Amino acid sequence: MQFLSRAISIDPGDHSGWAYWKGDLVPIVGQFNVSHSKKIKILEDQLAFQWELFSELLDNFAETKYVFIEGVEYWEGSQKSAMAAKRQNLSKLSYLVGGYANEARARGYEVRLLPARQWKGQMSNKVLERRVLSINGVRYPSEHILNAVGIGLSRMGLFQNTRTMPSRQSKSKQREWQWRT
């Protein structure tokens, strides 16, 4: 196992959880939330608000080299995914992920988009919480922070036995995109 160092992993959404990895199993963590107040009701304003918070996060950890972001994907057969697609939440999430990735790349950071199927497989958040607790002994205050930590731990190879969802990519294409720090 190789520890992540100078890396940020992020679970994007209205409540984006993040973890900054400094070379051990217990990252610095946090979360930023889009305000659903009347002040920020327009989608573009919500996105701009979150992109600005992400930019500030990158300013706070200027020595960052790598950014791992959970990618967006539609899971056929998932009621939750189908409902998100109907309400256009997947589109909003795609815009958000694109903004985060663009900001990180503009700063020269290596960016990887990791679909949940790749880093988490079919692991529920309850199982993820137990695994993370057994690895680093920490309970996290939200599922978004938990997922951000999970992304980082998976990049360290600590979820090797995770059953993944089948991919539509060929195996050679998947190997081409595998990347470790």
pLDDT digits (tens, 9 = 90+) for 36-47: 656 778 889 999
- What SS3 string covers 78-119? CHHHHHHHHCCHHHHHHHHHHHHHHHHHHCCCEEEEECHHHH
Please, which pLDDT band fits residue 179 given cuts at 50, 70 and 90? very low
Q: What is the pLDDT of residue 169?
A: 41
* 0.85 surpassed by pTM: no
The pLDDT score that the predictor gives to residue 174 is 39
- Please give the structure tokens belonging to residue 155: 């990049």
Q: 15-22 and 5-11 as β-strands: parallel, antiparallel, unpaired?
A: antiparallel
Closest alpha carbon to 153 in 48, 49, 68: 68
In this predicted structure, which of 13-17, 81-85, 150-154, 169-173 has the lowest mean pLDDT? Answer: 169-173
Domain extents for the chain?
Answer: 5-177
Q: What is the rounded CA–CA span in Å between residue 73 and residue 165? A: 11
Mean of the per-residue pLDDT values of the chain: 84
Longest C-alpha distance within the chain, in Å? 48
Burial (CB count within 10 angstroms: exposed 0-12, middle 13-18, buried 19+), residue 23 = exposed
pLDDT above 50: residue 173 = no
What's the pLDDT at 162? 53
Topology of the domain comprising 5-177: Nucleotidyltransferase; domain 5 (3.30.420)
Burial class from Cβ neighbours inside 10 Å (0-12, 13-18, 19+) for residue 136 reads middle
Distance CA(97)–CA(116), nearest Å, equals: 13
Taking the C-alpha atoms of residue 79 and residue 145, their distance in angstroms, rounded to an integer, is 23
